[in-house]
Structure 1
């Protein structure tokens, strides 16, 4: 631990300790909201509210204190929590992967080395638990945090933007396009390759479906029957060529993603029409739709279809 302490400003008071969910959750929720309110979407707001609700439910917290997704560390000064890091485990292809999330420091305590120490503590924690890759997400314009993570061995791997559907779509806004249909089976090989390009394999551990489940055939229908019984797919074509495809899977939450595969030469009008078509047909689901996509790509089509740029995150990884 002495090597970690050397990066801490000598004027800083307080100490680092493991998160105690029963005692700390409400204060962590307040800190996360304070630090990230400027770009917090509705999912983030619900996440904070769930933490506050859970902090008042001792039966839940007694169970959750032993649940890995609530592992982490806090920085405490005079009984106030002024820093936090959450440690979230994932497993993909028999690999142990960890996301270091909610790395937050109260504005009055910044530039004192607390964020560095919390991150180092999180990194040590996951290494002792067999981490084969650890990830952080950081806003693209947070240059100070990016520099810190680079100094700690993280490398930039992907820059991705989240687009939120602005509001409920009114039927009159939907464009009627004859070139938009339900998914066409013979387009699948092209759609599959474009999905793999848009959603890189090294990020597939993070809430991403297995694209093989959507390959036309018996496996897809078994998936529909036994796993997800409400799956919607649409495709846009032009002169008989595949332009773009969308997949939507029913979720248990109010917020649901659209998975997009788009040809390199897709035009703005065609893609916007596809997105509007999906929004119109999903309006009755009463879900908040969003798309996660490589930053800087297809912006005009997203905007024309009524999506708003929520945030752009740099994904950084430290391989073991």
Structure 2
């Protein structure tokens, strides 16, 4: 774990927030993120490692400034400086839909917490988003971090929904087919709107949609030719009940990934009856490809949680998705 030394003898120059200077700040931001998020997951550790590599890459970094999404997010953010050292950070990037922006990497060095730095940095970020005529901002906060959650609430963010990431490893307990499986069929092109209506019912957009940065829009459900340029292979499976859908499964197998990502949608009238069979089907399908399974599922769905645990999924992170609406538009 890297440490962050704070010189105490140098004369103070400027203390407070300022825009990020990526050439000057990248290595210090990497150090700050590492000491601030001691429990970061694998993707977070890889991002910090990439930042360190880029910080030492010289001219390559200047080339990547206009290309790398992470670098762009850092460039548009702010840092907080104390005694010529970075002790706080916030990043800003486009969400890619509805003129919405992402606030991320809100970090304050442990020695400087409790002094309003995180609040001030987020206020600067929201002011910048407003100056760009952004309509909204979104962020994620750990469900086990009530202090940060309270800060975002005071800034005007509200909860959309809480999601838990569940992971099933391929070597773990591949199930056998159930004796009484429902009829799960490949979704026909003309059935896409029925699937979209089911998603609107159980994953409404005002509650975070399908998940983080995945708005519930028709483009996720229209026939395959509209998704031709999406990475990996996306498939749709349904359980039909009369004129409506009882359930749907969306899977995505990214090239080279060890995990099959999926979403499970169950009509409220069928919740508690279909989840076990659907998960059974998903795991057998993933195992055929020698993959594990990964999903981001609403934490308020206790029936699904019970089934995930029964099938030996591991709960990795539970995050509250929050949203801020620009009051100046």
TM-score (norm 2): 0.77
Please state how far the C-alpha of 1:190 moved relative to its aligned partner: 4.3
The aligned residue for residue 83 of structure 1 is: 88
TM-score (norm 1): 0.79
The aligned residue for residue 257 of structure 1 is: 261
The aligned residue for residue 4 of structure 1 is: none
> Is the deviation greater in 146-155 or in 113-122?
146-155
**1:212-266: per-residue Cα shift (whole Å, max 9, x none)?**
4534xxxx14236554572223334689984422111233574663122112133
Residue 293 of structure 1, aligned match among 290, 297, 319: 297
Q: Distance in 1 between matches of 2:154 and 2:264?
A: 34
**Residue 19 of structure 2 is aligned to residue 18 of structure 1:** yes
The aligned residue for residue 315 of structure 1 is: 321
Unaligned 5+ segments in structure 2 are 1-13
Other structure's SS at 1:259 match: strand
Q: Distance in 2 between matches of 1:139 and 1:174?
A: 35
Other structure's SS at 1:303 match: helix
Q: Distance in 1 between matches of 2:260 and 2:54?
A: 23
The aligned residue for residue 53 of structure 1 is: 53
**Residue 123 of structure 2 is aligned to residue 120 of structure 1:** yes
The 1:239/1:98 distance shift into structure 2, 3 A limit, reads: closer
> Is the deviation greater in 204-213 or in 271-280?
204-213
* C-alpha contact 2:200 2:216 (8 A) present in aligned 1: no
Please state how far the C-alpha of 1:132 moved relative to its aligned partner: 1.0
Other structure's SS at 2:95 match: strand
The aligned residue for residue 281 of structure 1 is: 285
Q: Distance in 1 between matches of 2:115 and 2:175?
A: 51
The aligned residue for residue 103 of structure 2 is: 100
CA RMSD of aligned residues (A): 3.2
The aligned residue for residue 10 of structure 1 is: none
* C-alpha contact 1:268 1:301 (8 A) present in aligned 2: no
**Residue 31 of structure 2 is aligned to residue 30 of structure 1:** yes
Other structure's SS at 1:173 match: coil
Please state how far the C-alpha of 1:87 moved relative to its aligned partner: 0.5
Please state how far the C-alpha of 1:114 moved relative to its aligned partner: 0.8
Q: Distance in 1 between matches of 2:225 and 2:105?
A: 38
The aligned residue for residue 206 of structure 1 is: 213
Q: Distance in 1 between matches of 2:312 and 2:243?
A: 27
Please state how far the C-alpha of 1:103 moved relative to its aligned partner: 0.6
The aligned residue for residue 308 of structure 2 is: 302
The 1:244/1:35 distance shift into structure 2, 3 A limit, reads: farther
Q: Distance in 1 between matches of 2:183 and 2:173?
A: 16
> Is the deviation greater in 80-89 or in 254-263?
254-263
The 1:253/1:87 distance shift into structure 2, 3 A limit, reads: farther
**Residue 234 of structure 2 is aligned to residue 231 of structure 1:** yes
Unaligned 5+ segments in structure 1 are 1-12
* C-alpha contact 1:68 1:89 (8 A) present in aligned 2: no
Q: Distance in 1 between matches of 2:22 and 2:288?
A: 38
Please state how far the C-alpha of 1:52 moved relative to its aligned partner: 2.5
> Is the deviation greater in 181-190 or in 111-120?
181-190
Higher helix share: 1
The aligned residue for residue 155 of structure 2 is: 152
Residue 191 of structure 1, aligned match among 195, 203, 212: 195
Other structure's SS at 2:170 match: coil
The 1:318/1:171 distance shift into structure 2, 3 A limit, reads: closer
